[in-house]
């Protein structure tokens, strides 16, 4: 059973555009929703995270939108840059275990 569903699998965006990656979950016990960024040959690195008591969190060009009733959350990357090209994973946690989405490979073309 896949705890967290992520889409799209891959995404190509022009430099300066907005990248949007979506995730959905079923388990209402999840109370922490991080996004991780992974470059080739490296481990995932925490990018931004949100708790379900807020609907949006913004850090620089990265924004998480959270819809508790729909059990969905998304990552928006504004003004996408070639350096943002990486694989992005959403995750959800009820406490001490993390469930990851299947990843989105983002390519930002100049």
Asked if 35 is part of the footprint of another protein (rule: CB under 8 A), the reply reads no
Q: Which is nearer to another protein, 43 or 83 (CB)?
A: 43
Which residue's entry shows tokens 């016990």?
A: 29
> Do 69 and 81 contact (CB within 8 A), yes or no?
no
User: Tokens representing 58?
Assistant: 């913004």
Asked if 1 is part of the footprint of another protein (rule: CB under 8 A), the reply reads no
Per CB under 8 A, the list member of 13, 80, 84, 103 interacting with another protein is: 103
Per CB under 8 A, the list member of 42, 56, 59, 67 interacting with another protein is: 42
């Amino acid at each position: 059973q896949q705890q967290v569903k992520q889409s799209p699998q891959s995404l190509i965006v022009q430099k300066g555009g907005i990248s949007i990656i979506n995730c959905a979950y079923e388990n209402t016990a999840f109370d922490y929703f991080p996004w991780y960024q992974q470059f080739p040959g490296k481990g995932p690195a925490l990018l931004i995270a949100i708790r379900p008591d807020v609907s949006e969190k913004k850090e620089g060009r990265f924004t998480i939108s959270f819809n508790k009733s729909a059990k969905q959350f998304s990552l928006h990357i504004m003004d996408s840059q070639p350096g943002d090209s990486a694989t992005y994973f959403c995750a959800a946690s009820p406490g001490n275990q993390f469930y990851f989405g299947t990843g989105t490979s983002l390519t930002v073309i100049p």
